[in-house]
Amino acid sequence: QGQLVESGGGLVQPGGSLRLSCAASGFSLESYTIGWFRQAPGKEREGIACIDGSDNSPYYADSLKGRFTLSKDNARNTVYLQMDSLEPEDTAVYYCAADTVSWYHFLLLDKGEFDYWGQGTQVTVSS
C-alpha cells in the first residue's frame, strides 16, 4: 500500500506565496506521474500541473503558467507546488495525485482512476 500526504496550506493575503508539499510513502515517485489538482466551492476539479517519473519538464495548465511552479525531490520522495502572486480565486482545497499514465493523460483522469489521491490541504487567499 501507499499514500500521499499534502501539507503547507493556510491563509495568505492576496499577492502572497505558499509552497505546498506532497510526501509519498509506500511507492517511489520515480515510477509515477504525479501532479496537483484543486477544487473550489461550487467549482469542478481543476488540473494544475504534473511531472512524470523520468523528470521531464513539468506540464502546466495554461491559466496557471507563470504563477505556479512544480518541482520534485526524488531523494525525499516528495513533490512541491510553489504558488506565487496568489489571488482570492486561488482559494481551494489542493490535492496531490499519482498514477502510472503519461503526463499527457494524467490531468484527464477521473479521481477514481488514480492509483493514489491525497486528502488535500486548504489554501485560503483573503485580506
Widest distance between CA atoms in the chain: 41
How high is the pLDDT of residue 80? Answer: 97
How high is the pLDDT of residue 68? Answer: 96
Ordered mean pLDDT values, 10 residues apiece, the chain (127 residues): 96 98 96 95 93 88 87 96 96 97 87 94 97
Copy the grid coordinates of residue 21.
Answer: 508539499
Distance, CA of 117 to CA of 65 (rounded, Å):
23
How high is the pLDDT of residue 98? Answer: 97
How high is the pLDDT of residue 39? Answer: 96
